[in-house]
Chain A
Amino acid sequence: MSSQAYYVPAQSRWPILASVSLFLMAYGAATLINALSAESGGMLGLVLLLLGALCMGLIMVGWFGHVIDESGQGLYSDQMDRSFRWGMSWFIFSEIMFFAAFFGTLFYVRVLAVPWLGGEGEKGVSNMLWQGFEATWPLMTTPDMNAFPGPEGLIDPLHLPLINTLLLLSSSVTVTVAHYRLKQDRRSQVILWLLLTVVLGCAFLLFQVLEYVEAYHELGLTLQAGIYGATFFILTGFHGMHVTLGTLMLFIILLRVIRGHFAPDHHFGFEAVSWYWHFVDVVWVGLFLFVYLL
């Protein structure tokens, strides 16, 4: 590192374009959501949102493609590699904190807020608001059943969620196997194991969709079903979005392996995605324990 000159990229159009797209997405989303709530129009918001998302997708392809090009030309030193590693690690840390906010919410309502509403504990005086309300978890009968009709049934944790747990845990194994095969430069094996990981991810998502359909149509477990439904859907929903993104990234990595990218000793793109996948997996274990099982 001592005698090496630094690499500094030249000017780039991607970031400013990405800012414009992000703005279109955010403005579009806000306009759309407001229109939906007011039940009037929504076209403008939808168009802006989709336009922004489309541009953002294209920009990501271009920007990452550009980085891959530069890496392929050998412009990146070990130091650059380390910067990417720090960047990805701290990004995952920020994601952990994002989920921590929702887990914290879940624990707060389970351990403190709902029991207080039911008259237990030091702040049980809040039971005066809805006298006769009884605290249970999962909360099937909400304090105000007209405004927030509680769920009629719950997801059986030992059915779809258990299958999903096994699917995600084994997908963490398969992606690790793929990584080892990549280090041994056995490309066809890498493709096989990566493909298996993508299939497992897709299967997880499919089951998650089935579970949501069941929740909405058979169990009355909805976003409006009081605090259990709210915490259930925000945690599993954001996790599902992360699995979707992770599966998409794994798929892109798979395409890149097929195209002959990645060397046995130089494949940070691969590692970053596998880190992300393990993170998504760990979050699921927390979900399975605290949302479904306990």
Chain B
Amino acid sequence: MGSLEQTVHSTDHHGPAKGITRWLYTTNHKDIGTLYLLFSLTMFFVGGCMALTIRAELFQPGLQLIMPEFFNQMTTMHGLIMVFGAVMPAFVGLANWMIPMMVGSPDMALPRMNNWSFWILPFAFVMMLSTLLMEGGAPNFGWTFYAPLSTTYAPPSVTYFIFAVHMMGISSIMGAINVIATILNMRAPGMKLMDMPLFVWTWLITAFLLIAVMPVLAGVVTMMLMDIHFGTSFFDAAGGGDPVLFQHVFWFFGHPEVYIMILPAFGIVSEIIPTFARKRLFGYTSMVYATGSIAILSFIVWAHHMFTVGLPLAGELFFMYTTMLIAVPTGVKVFNWVATMFRGSMTFETPMLFSLAFVVLFTIGGFSGLMLAIAPADFQYHDTYFVVAHFHYVLVPGSIFSIMAAAYYWLPKWTGHMYNEAMGKLHFWLSFIGVNITFFPMHFLGLAGMPRRIPDYALQFADFNMVATFGAFLFGFSQLIFVYNVISCARSGKKATARVWEGSHGLEWTLPSPPPYHSFTEPPVFTNPHRENS
């Protein structure tokens, strides 16, 4: 079937096809990267609307707008969509766009599988969102779907949720295999592993984490399916199983998952800060080793999410100390970013502003994580708004800000036009203020004892909740500036040069802006100016 038309393409530089088939049949890393990024942006707004629904309900105490049942569906779907639909696909999209250009290859190693990885996602999320219209409503058990809430007491739509998770897992695993194969096999001649840009390094390790833990997620949802429909007792003590087992397996996936959502962010920031500080990245080698250490440690810390379920004392201590150990490599990274900026010739374009906010605010999120890691203290914080504040600090001004930074940093490369800098700065400042107004008060709410995932609350929490809701709407609506800026940048704007930024380094900046449809059809010659023994 149609194999001959696709035989010789090793030398001719064919451009994109016309019409919708370009996007449906594409094997091009840039097209697929764009699809991922647009999909992620769409899901960001879908999940964002759910977040605003939650915040609107919490604006005042008492039930105002929605029923508790629907509130639970909103918190669940918001979390799932933001994690699996917004943050992860955004990083995969950036990987697709940038890794082939950064390592000097024409495309990803397995281009057809690349297309498949992407196109599974829209179907998976159609299935997931369709549960909102089903009898009994959408999944309502929280994004962590603990048994037995997600088994014995789940709505029928949980079956669709399980299969949607399976599809996302297949997509992620194939995407990650592609990233690894590209990085290990498609580097330009002369580019050693320790010459790779840090974004490539962090993605290599992220891809390893994805392949290691997405199958575990598939395993845990399969056991749920068996318990719900086929009478097994994995998570039911009446048959000798254990509901806590669910949490162990889930968090064995879940903790590496949070690093899947932050390691590429580390990579992005490690690209951007040197560019705008006009200095080499401080401590490249230590950055690589720190990333590796974080990835390895991520497999032995999972039960820090479970300090209050009744672990043996030895378990509490083990998981407390291993978790605290992660602060060491993370501290190395923050130190290196600051040291890179030290005595640099800094300018503050939008990508740099987002990166700086990342360093500061992610560190705040890291510190609150350290507080949560203290097992005895966690007995107080557990399942309060302090946890919500913590993970939103690492995910919103952490992951999301890094994605914004990456988008502004590489938009001129992708589109060939400069974005509107004034509008970018406005977007940054409104986001920065909005994020902090939203999430900082949640620390106080949590420490005062406000539980998460509850649509109503006691009167003494009213003021901070009102402030948080105000911040959420400010943050949410200021993202429209970003959309406008991206669209106008794609259409027109000042022509971008190949280098784009004065301080930029790396193979992707040797290509014109926008780059040719196939990045490097001949392997470029790579020499690392900083490598001593080359």
A residues neighboring B (CB under 8 Å) = 1-2, 4-16, 18-20, 22-23, 26-27, 29-30, 33-34, 36-38, 62-63, 65-66, 69-70, 73, 75, 79, 82-84, 86-87, 90-91, 93-95, 97-98, 100-102, 104-105, 108-109, 112-114, 116-117, 121-123, 126, 129-130, 139, 142-144, 147-148, 222-224, 226-231, 233-234
Out of A33, A79, A100, name the residue touching B225 (CB < 8 Å): A33
Given known contacts A9-B6, A86-B181, A129 and B120 CB-to-CB distance under 8 angstroms: no
Closest to B126 in A: A23
Give min CB distance, B398 to chain A, whole Å: 26
Contact B225 A224, beta carbon cutoff 8 Å: no
Cα A277 to Cα B115 with chains together (Å): 28
Interface size on B, residues (CB 8 A): 94
Cα A30 to Cα B159 with chains together (Å): 5
Out of A20, A66, A234, name the residue touching B232 (CB < 8 Å): A234
Cα A148 to Cα B237 with chains together (Å): 10
Contact A36 B523, beta carbon cutoff 8 Å: no
Contact A6 B10, beta carbon cutoff 8 Å: yes
Closest to A97 in B: B215
> Which one of B84-92, B101-109, B400-408, B481-489 is at the A interface?
B101-109
> Which one of B17-25, B142-150, B340-348, B447-455 is at the A interface?
B17-25
Given known contacts A38-B156, A147-B238, A223-B232, A27 and B163 CB-to-CB distance under 8 angstroms: yes
Give min CB distance, B215 to chain A, whole Å: 4
Cα A172 to Cα B241 with chains together (Å): 35
Closest to B31 in A: A11
Closest 6 CB pairs of A and B: A101-B219, A148-B239, A227-B240, A15-B116, A144-B238, A230-B232
Contact B107 A6, beta carbon cutoff 8 Å: yes
| Residues on A with beta carbons closer than 8 Å to the beta carbon of B213 | 97
Contact A12 B25, beta carbon cutoff 8 Å: yes
A to B CB contacts below 8 Å, 21 in the list: A6-B186, A7-B9, A9-B111, A10-B6, A11-B17, A11-B25, A20-B123, A22-B167, A26-B164, A26-B166, A30-B127, A79-B185, A83-B185, A90-B181, A94-B173, A109-B241, A113-B245, A130-B238, A142-B238, A226-B233, A230-B239
Does B510 belong to the interface (CB within 8 Å)?
Answer: no
Does B313 belong to the interface (CB within 8 Å)?
Answer: yes
| Residues on A with beta carbons closer than 8 Å to the beta carbon of B109 | 83, 86-87
Contact B237 A126, beta carbon cutoff 8 Å: yes
Contact B229 A223, beta carbon cutoff 8 Å: no
Grouping DSSP codes into helix (H, G, I), strand (E, B) and loop, the A interface class, with mixed when no group exceeds half, is: helix
Does B226 belong to the interface (CB within 8 Å)?
Answer: yes
| Residues on A with beta carbons closer than 8 Å to the beta carbon of B239 | 142-144, 147-148, 224, 226-227, 230
Does B212 belong to the interface (CB within 8 Å)?
Answer: yes
Cα A227 to Cα B26 with chains together (Å): 47
- CB within 8 Å of A: which of B216-236? 216, 218-220, 222-223, 225-226, 228-234, 236
Contact B123 A230, beta carbon cutoff 8 Å: no
Cα A7 to Cα B173 with chains together (Å): 23
Out of B185, B225, B518, name the residue touching A82 (CB < 8 Å): B185
A9-B6, A15-B115, A66-B3 known; 7 new pairs, CB 8 Å cut-off, are A5-B521, A22-B120, A69-B3, A86-B177, A87-B109, A90-B176, A230-B241
Contact A12 B6, beta carbon cutoff 8 Å: yes
Give min CB distance, B145 to chain A, whole Å: 15
Does B310 belong to the interface (CB within 8 Å)?
Answer: yes
| Residues on A with beta carbons closer than 8 Å to the beta carbon of B225 | 33
Contact B241 A227, beta carbon cutoff 8 Å: yes
Does B162 belong to the interface (CB within 8 Å)?
Answer: yes
Cα A117 to Cα B222 with chains together (Å): 24
| Residues on A with beta carbons closer than 8 Å to the beta carbon of B502 | none
| Residues on B with beta carbons closer than 8 Å to the beta carbon of A230 | 226, 232-234, 239, 241
Closest to A147 in B: B238
Contact A143 B237, beta carbon cutoff 8 Å: yes
Does B522 belong to the interface (CB within 8 Å)?
Answer: yes
Contact B181 A83, beta carbon cutoff 8 Å: yes
Contact A15 B163, beta carbon cutoff 8 Å: no
Contact B234 A5, beta carbon cutoff 8 Å: no
Out of A10, A108, A116, A226, name the residue touching B14 (CB < 8 Å): A10
Contact A94 B242, beta carbon cutoff 8 Å: no
Contact B160 A8, beta carbon cutoff 8 Å: no
| Residues on A with beta carbons closer than 8 Å to the beta carbon of B212 | 93-94, 97
Closest to A12 in B: B112
Task: Please encode chain B, from 128 to 170, with 1 for each CB lying within 8 Å of some chain A CB and 0 for all others.
Answer: 0000000000000000000000000000100110111011001
| Residues on B with beta carbons closer than 8 Å to the beta carbon of A6 | 10, 105-107, 186, 520-523
Contact B26 A23, beta carbon cutoff 8 Å: no
Given known contacts A102-B219, A143-B238, A11 and B163 CB-to-CB distance under 8 angstroms: no
